Amino acid sequence: MKKLTSLIAAVTMLSLASSAFAGTIKGSMTKATKNADGSYTIVVKDIKTNKDYAIEVQDVETKGKLDSKKVDSGDEIEVKFNEKEGKNINTKIQKEGGC
């Protein structure tokens, strides 16, 4: 029984350690750069920490917002992202006041 409990604890710890980190930041988008593959890399300055976050944008909807300038440098935005393989990959970008 003790071995089973230890095994379950070890598997749980491994699954938690390998799962991606998810985060949300609010702040000003200071830069948007279109990459060769059509994705974007944006830089957002977090309001709370004053830290710059580089976020990779891969989804079609958000790339469209950046292409059409509905979301642009200087805009206050909320970004939800997952950390995957050392990169912050956006899952959603919401401009303050909508969009």
Domain with residue 31: its CATH number is: 2.40.50.140
Place of tokens 């909320």: 78
Burial of 63 (0-12, 13-18, 19+ CB in 10 A): middle
* SS3 (DSSP) at 95: strand
* SS3 (DSSP) at 3: helix
User: Would you say residue 87 lies in a domain?
Assistant: yes
User: Would you say residue 91 lies in a domain?
Assistant: yes
> Domain of 54?
21-95
- Kindly report the pTM of this predicted structure: 0.75
User: Would you say residue 26 lies in a domain?
Assistant: yes
User: Would you say residue 72 lies in a domain?
Assistant: yes
pLDDT tens digit sequence for 4-54? 455 455 545 544 444 557 889 999 999 999 999 999 999 999 999 999 999
The amino acid sitting at 76 is E
The total number of structural domains in the chain stands at 1
Phi and psi at residue 23, to the nearest 5°: -145, 165
User: Would you say residue 67 lies in a domain?
Assistant: yes
